[in-house]
Structure 1
C-alpha cells in the first residue's frame, strides 16, 4: 500500500508539473518544471510496477534539482527550502523499509540498504549537507560598521534644530526638521537589554464595523513638559501623564462615521507656543488636530478645551473653496507643520476614484486666529494670496498626504507631493501636474511662493508618491557644511539635496526607462536614480519563490504572463509587474537621521505588485470594486486599474525573502555600511514559527544620541532596539498588536528615558488591531 500511494503521489505531482511546466515554457520561461515532471512521472511508473530502478531515477531527480538550485540561487537557505520542500522528504521516505521491502528486497538491515539505494542515499546526504551549509551562511546581509561618532562632524557644528528641550518631543519628527533624533543618551547598547515595561495604556478606541479596510493606528505621540499627547484613528485626542501613563483629559471631535473614506488614521498632532504670549490670553499653547471630516481643530494642551479664537469656534473648515465636494473624499491623516506662527496643512484624496477629485492645495493659517494667510495650489502655483470667497482651487492636483518639514532660518517649508489621479494613467495631466507630481517642493514660509521643486519620478504611472517627511540635516562636505534635505521614496532612492536650492548633494543620474504606455498615454524616456539607493535588482526567474515548488511554479506562470522590463514598466492591459510596488521600499514612516554621525537609519521593504489596466466602457460601471467609494475605478478615464500584491495561490509573496531589512548609511558618501534582514514570520505564517526571514515594515525608526535605534513597525508584533554602529539587534519586546507606527523617546520628570510604542495594527496589512500605548525604561 505504501508503494502504491507513493507511486500515485509521484504521478500526480508529475502531471501537475507537466501541465504547469509546459505553460511556463510556452510563456518563454524555464524548462526546469517540465524536466522535473518527467522525473516524477518515471519514478511513479517504476514504483507502480515495483521496480528498484525507481530509486535510481529519483536519485537523479534529487541530484538534478540540487544542481539546478545551487546554480540558480547558490546557498541561500530560504531560496533552497521551497525547492527541497517536497523533493527532500520524499527521498527520505523512499529509503524507509516500508518502501524498500516492497521493491524486491528480502531482508531489512544492511542488505536492504545496499545496491539500488546507494545513489539515493548519496543524493539525500548531499541535500542534507547543502541545507546545513545554507543554514550556517547568510548571503543577504552586509555586516559592517558605521564610523564612530567622533569621526563625524564635531558636535559644536551640529545643527539639531533644538529649540526643543532634550527631554521633550514637540513634533512628529521631534522638531520641525523631522530627523526623528533624540539627544537623550541614558539608553545605550550596553544597557538596552535591561529595558522593561513601565506602563501600558489602552485608548479604548477600537475598530468599528463601518470603518474602511485601511483603518490604522499610526500615531507618534508628542511630549510637552510633563504630558504626552496622542490622537486615535477616530480622532480622539488624549493627554497622558508622561511619568505614569494615567489619562489627564480626552477630547472627542464627534467625527461621524462614513463609508466614503479610504483611510482612517491619525499619525499625530502638532504643537505651537507663542514666543510672546499675551497676558491673560487663553490657549497660549495649542495642539492642532486634523480630522477625518476635514476640520483643523485647535486645543488647549492644559485642559483639552477647544481654542475658541481659532477659526470658527476653534476649527477651520478644510472643505472651504474646495472643488468637487464629496463627503469622505478629502481629509488630512498627517499632522500639519507649525512654523513662523503658521499652521501649514495638506490633505489626502481618495485614490483613483475619478478624474474629478478635490484639490491638493497647501494652505497656511495663522496659528492664533485661523485666518488663511496663503495658499499654494499646484494647478495655479503663481497665485498664493488667499483665495477669494466663492472661488475654488484647481481640481485633482497632486496632493500632500504625508508630513512636511520646515526650516525657519531659511524661511522655507518642504512639502512631499503625490500624484494627480488617476495614478496609473496620465494621458490628460496638465502641465503643472506634470511638473509637481511625485516631487518635493520648497515654499516660502511667508508668502507660499515656490522656491524650488525636485521631481523624484517623471510622469508617474505607478503611484510613487513622495511618501515621507523630509529630514533636514546639515552635512559635512568637501566644500564645508551644507544644509541638506534627506528624502526617502517609495522606489527605494534616498535623495540628499541642498535644501536652499534643491540641487543634489549626493549625485543623481537619469537612466533610460521602459517605454510603451497604454493608449493615449506615454512613458518618460528617463527616470532619476540617487547615489544612495535601496532599489532592488531587476527580478529574474531565479528570484521567484513559494512554500513548495508547486506554488513556485505558479509564480513562474504569473511572472512570465506579465509585462516586466524592470523598474518603471508601464501599466498595461496585459498586466504589468511593478517592483518595487506602490507599498514602497519606504513609506510614510520615513527614516531617522543622526546629525552627529551624519548617517541615516532606514528600514527598506520589498514587495512586488501587479497593475492591470481594464478598459472602461462608460463612467457608471464598476470593474474592480464592489462598494463605495469605488477605489481604482477611475471614472472619467479610459481605464480602471486592478492592483494587487504579486503572491502565489496560497497567499505568499512570489518574490524570495528577505522582504525587509534595517540599514545604516553614511550621508556624506552614500555608502551603506550595514544591511541586516529584520523580522520574523511568527505572526504571518499558518504555524507561528519565529523564522528570521526579514519582513516588511510600515512605520519609521527613531534614533538616539546613546547609539540605539528603535523600530516597531515590522509585520511581526515586536518593538526592537538596534546598535546604530552595526545594525545588530540588541533587544526586543512582544507587542499585543501590530506596531505600525513610529516610536518616540523622552525623559520623564523622575529623570528616566522612556521609549513609547503604539500598537494598534494596520487594516490593509492584516495585522492585529489594538489600542495600546506602551512605555519602556531602564529599571530604577
Structure 2
C-alpha cells in the first residue's frame, strides 16, 4: 500500500506541477485538478480506501467525459488520456481486508464501462473517408508523352510527369501474387562523414532492356532489366563536403538517338570502371547532375563520357555564379530534356548565408552543352545567354524539385522555391517576390516567362513548391482543357490551364496572421485552392503523447509557442509551422490517371517549429545543421532554428494520424476516399504492426489496370493499392527504407516488372541500405 500511495503521489505531483504551469499559459485546468485528485487518492489509499475508490471512480468518469469532449470517439486520442489511469485503478479494485466493499462496488463497474468504451473505440476510424473513384474511362486516347508503353524514359515516365503506366498485366485480382524477381545492391552506402540528409530517392529509367539509375554519391549504374545484372558503373567521384544540406540523386535524364529510335541501345558489360573510359562521340545521352554542381553527359551503351557535350561530357554549373561557396549549390533532381535542350535548375542551401549562389534556370544545347538561355528570377526578362564576365543575381529563388514539359505548347514548368534566408523577407526584390513559391511556365525556345501562379505570398515558412507538375487533358464544364496539377506543402492541389496559367479550380484569398520582426512584414492574405488537403487549425486539445505526462508537456510547448493558425509569422518566441517543412505533399508529388482523370496522393501532417535567434555578436555554437537544426544565415541579424514539433519521447506532439493515402476525381475535385497509411512497426523498438497512419516521403505510380504502387512511409514496405477504393491489396517487406518513387515496365519476355529502390532517408531515420528490388508475377 505504501508503494501504491507513492505512485499516486508522484503521478499527482507531476500533473499538478505541470498543470499549474499550463494554467499560467491560459491552458486547460484538467491536469492541475487531476494532480490534486491523485494526491488525495494516494493519501486515502491506506486508511480510507472506500473513499479513495469512490473519488477515483468519479475521476475516471470525469476524465472519460473530458476526453470525449476534447477528442471525440477516437482510440488514438482517448488511449493516452485514459489508458494509464485505467491501469492505476487496478490495485484499487480490491477492498481492504475487513473493510467496506461499497467503494469496490462503485469503482469496478465504472472501471469496466470506461475500459470497454475505450476498447470499443478501436473499431471506429473517425478520420476515414470511404467511397469509390469512377471506373469509367473518360479519355480513350490520352497524351501519355513520348515514352514507349513498355518503358520508362523520364522521372515521371514522360516529361508530362503523370507517373502513370499503360501496362495492365498486374491487376487488383493478381497483385497479391507478386514475388521478388531479383535484387541488386549498388555498394554506395551512407558514409560516416556524410550529412544527415543523405538519402536514396532515385526512380530508375528503363530504356530498351536496361535500367539506368544514380546513387546518393552520384554513381550512374546500368542494369539488365530482366535480371538486374550490372552492366556498367560510372562513379562521378564527388568529393565529401560537410556544407551540403543534401546528399542525394533523384534520377537521370535521357536524350534519344538522333534518328529518334528511342529504344535502340547496345549496352555493354564493362570490365573496368566506366569513368576510366576515354570520352566518345555520343548519339544517345544520359544526363546526371551531381552534388558538386556538375552536369555530366554519359553514353548509355558504355558509360563513357560524351566528348561532344561541354568539356568532354562535363559542364560546370558554377559558371557565372555570384558566390561559389563549396556545398552551397548543387542539383539533386534530373534535368528536363526537351526541344533539343537540357534544362537544368539547382538547389541553394536554405538559411546558410544571405549571399549565396543564384537560383538561375539554364537551358543548354543537349548535344553540345552550349548555353541557349538563362532565366534568373531576379532579372526575369534578361534570358539571353550571360556574358563570360557577368554574374547571375545573388540568392535568387531556386527550383530544386522536378520540372515537366509540354513540347507541343513549347513550355517547361518549374516548381519554384524561395530566396534564402527563407524566414527573413527583407532581402527580396519585387521580381523575387513575384516568382518565389510558385509554378512558372517558361518558353522552351527563349526562357521567357509565359505565366506564373504563386502559392504563397512573401513566404516566411520555407513553403517551397516541392513537387513535379503533372500534365493531362482534363474534361471541364468549359470543355477539355490542357491541365497542370501541382500539390503544395501547405496541402493545396492547384489545377491550372497549362497553356494560360488560368485556374481550372477556383483560387481564393484568405486573411493571414500579421506581426513580424522589425523590418519585415507578412502578407495580408494567402491563396487557397478549392481542392485542398489542408488540415484544420491546431488546438491545445490536439496535443498528443503516449501518456498524460508527455501530452501535458506538449500542451505546455503549444501554449508557450506563437501560433495563430497557418502562416503565423516566425518569431523569437518560436512559432509553430503547421503544416510543417515536410509539407502535406513533397517531391514525391501525385500520380494522375489521364484516362479516368483521377489522382492518387499521400498527404501527411507533421508540425514544425521555427525560431528566430538574434545574433547580437553572440556565439551560437554549432550552426548550419541542415534542414533540421540551427542555421547561421550569415550576413543577417538572425539565425533560424527549425525542427519537428515533438514530445519529450520524440514522437509528434499533434495526435495521429500523420499520414494517409487519398483518391480524388479531378473533374469534380471530390475526395472520394482517404485512408490511414502505414504502421508504427519501424518507429519503435517493439515491432508492432499497428496501422496508425505514419509520415512518409516519396511518390506513387498508377497502372492502367487500377493498381497503385507506393512505398514512402516510415515503415519499410512497398504496397499495392486499389485505385478505385484505396484498399491495400498487397505489401512486401523491404530491406531498407523505400523513400523513392517506384516504376514499372515490361522486360524482354513481355512480363510486367515493378522496381523499388530501398536505401533509406537520413532525415526521417529509416533503415539505410543500397537495394534495388524488382518484382513480377510468377510464371504461368
Contact 1:473 1:484 in 2 (8 A): yes
Structure 2 partner of 1:236:
219
Contact 2:258 2:283 in 1 (8 A): no
Larger mean Cα displacement after TM superposition, 47-56 or 424-433:
47-56
Q: Tell me the C-alpha RMSD between the 2 structures.
A: 1.6
- CA distance change for structure 1 residues 19 and 643 in 2, over 3 Å: closer, same or farther? same
The 3-state SS of whatever aligns with 2:2 is: helix
Deviation of the 1:92 alpha carbon:
2.0
Deviation of the 1:76 alpha carbon:
0.3
Q: Given the alignment of the two structures, is residue 484 of structure 1 paired with residue 471 of structure 2, yes or no?
A: no
Deviation of the 1:627 alpha carbon:
6.8
TM-score, normalised via structure 2 length: 0.96
Q: Given the alignment of the two structures, is residue 195 of structure 1 paired with residue 168 of structure 2, yes or no?
A: no
The 3-state SS of whatever aligns with 1:551 is: helix
Structure 1 partner of 2:42:
44
Number of equivalenced pairs: 762
The answer for unaligned runs of 5 or more in structure 2 is: 266-279
Distance 1:28 1:415 in 2: 45
Structure 1 partner of 2:563:
564
Distance 2:181 2:376 in 1: 46
Contact 1:350 1:631 in 2 (8 A): no
Distance 1:297 1:572 in 2: 42
Distance 2:119 2:625 in 1: 51
Distance 1:582 1:627 in 2: 15
Distance 1:623 1:188 in 2: 56
Distance 1:765 1:175 in 2: 29
Structure 2 partner of 1:768:
767
Contact 1:75 1:130 in 2 (8 A): no
The 3-state SS of whatever aligns with 1:214 is: coil
Contact 2:625 2:631 in 1 (8 A): no
The 3-state SS of whatever aligns with 1:264 is: coil
Deviation of the 1:533 alpha carbon:
0.6
The 3-state SS of whatever aligns with 2:45 is: helix
- CA distance change for structure 1 residues 636 and 509 in 2, over 3 Å: closer, same or farther? same
Deviation of the 1:417 alpha carbon:
0.7
Distance 1:117 1:557 in 2: 36
Distance 1:724 1:357 in 2: 44
Structure 1 partner of 2:135:
148
Contact 1:624 1:642 in 2 (8 A): no
Distance 1:626 1:527 in 2: 30
Contact 1:353 1:631 in 2 (8 A): no
Q: Given the alignment of the two structures, is residue 105 of structure 1 paired with residue 94 of structure 2, yes or no?
A: no
The answer for unaligned runs of 5 or more in structure 1 is: 107-111
Structure 1 partner of 2:309:
310
Contact 2:258 2:284 in 1 (8 A): no
For each residue in 1:540-584, what CA deviation from the matched residue of structure 2 results, as whole angstroms up to 9, or x when unmatched? 122110000000000010000111111101011111111000111
Distance 2:319 2:662 in 1: 43
The 3-state SS of whatever aligns with 2:373 is: strand
The 3-state SS of whatever aligns with 1:563 is: coil
Larger mean Cα displacement after TM superposition, 377-386 or 127-136:
127-136
- CA distance change for structure 1 residues 764 and 627 in 2, over 3 Å: closer, same or farther? closer
Structure 1 partner of 2:457:
458
Q: Given the alignment of the two structures, is residue 206 of structure 1 paired with residue 189 of structure 2, yes or no?
A: yes
Distance 2:377 2:635 in 1: 21
For each residue in 1:249-300, what CA deviation from the matched residue of structure 2 results, as whole angstroms up to 9, or x when unmatched? 1101111111121110000000011443799994211100001111100011
Distance 1:408 1:275 in 2: 17
Structure 2 partner of 1:417:
416
Structure 2 partner of 1:300:
299
For each residue in 1:413-437, what CA deviation from the matched residue of structure 2 results, as whole angstroms up to 9, or x when unmatched? 0011100011111012111111111
Structure 2 partner of 1:168:
151
Distance 1:167 1:498 in 2: 29
Deviation of the 1:626 alpha carbon:
7.2
For each residue in 1:149-185, what CA deviation from the matched residue of structure 2 results, as whole angstroms up to 9, or x when unmatched? 33xx2313x2222x21110000000000000000001
Deviation of the 1:351 alpha carbon:
1.0
Distance 2:619 2:23 in 1: 37
For each residue in 1:333-353, what CA deviation from the matched residue of structure 2 results, as whole angstroms up to 9, or x when unmatched? 000011001000000111101
The 3-state SS of whatever aligns with 2:108 is: helix
Distance 2:327 2:487 in 1: 29
Distance 1:174 1:518 in 2: 45
Distance 2:176 2:758 in 1: 20
Contact 1:508 1:530 in 2 (8 A): yes
Deviation of the 1:225 alpha carbon:
0.6
Distance 2:588 2:395 in 1: 25
Deviation of the 1:132 alpha carbon:
2.6
Larger mean Cα displacement after TM superposition, 32-41 or 397-406:
32-41
Deviation of the 1:49 alpha carbon:
3.1
Distance 1:229 1:105 in 2: 80
Contact 2:245 2:626 in 1 (8 A): no
Structure 2 partner of 1:86:
84
Residues 247-266 of structure 1 correspond to what in structure 2 (within 5 A)?
A: 247-266=230-249
The 3-state SS of whatever aligns with 1:36 is: helix
The 3-state SS of whatever aligns with 1:523 is: coil
TM-score, normalised via structure 1 length: 0.96
For each residue in 1:67-88, what CA deviation from the matched residue of structure 2 results, as whole angstroms up to 9, or x when unmatched? 1111111110000110123101
Deviation of the 1:403 alpha carbon:
0.5
**Aligned match of 1:20 in 14, 18, 21?**
18
Structure 1 partner of 2:57:
59
